[in-house]
Amino acid sequence: MTDLKAEFDALQQETKKVSAVLSKRAPLRSIVVSKEEFDEFRAEQARFNEKVLEVLEEIRDGLGRMEERIQKNSEKGREEEVRERLV
């Protein structure tokens, strides 16, 4: 138990040292870009978002078609099951 306490105290001291070093570092500077670069980035982001929406719509449509097929197949399966029972 004493070893664990000593190890914990050592880690705590190391954490304090690291925190002191990090606090002395200069803060991160903000990134400066031109208005044109920012506008280009926003346009690229908008194009990307459009593509994502297109893909999501395709997935939704595909899932809808799959759901319809499953429903039709289950209905066919029920019809066949009823026919088998009648025969």
> Is this model's pTM higher than 0.85 or not?
no
Residue 48, token pair as written in the block: 């990307």
Alpha-carbon gap, residue 26 to 30, rounded angstroms: 12
The Cα-based distances of 55 to 45, 48, 51, 60, 85 in angstroms read: 15, 11, 6, 9, 45
Alpha-carbon gap, residue 67 to 37, rounded angstroms: 45
Residue by residue, pLDDT tens for the chain (87 residues) are 577 778 888 888 888 887 777 676 656 566 677 889 889 999 999 999 999 999 999 999 999 999 999 888 888 877 787 777 776
| Amino acid identity at 38 | F
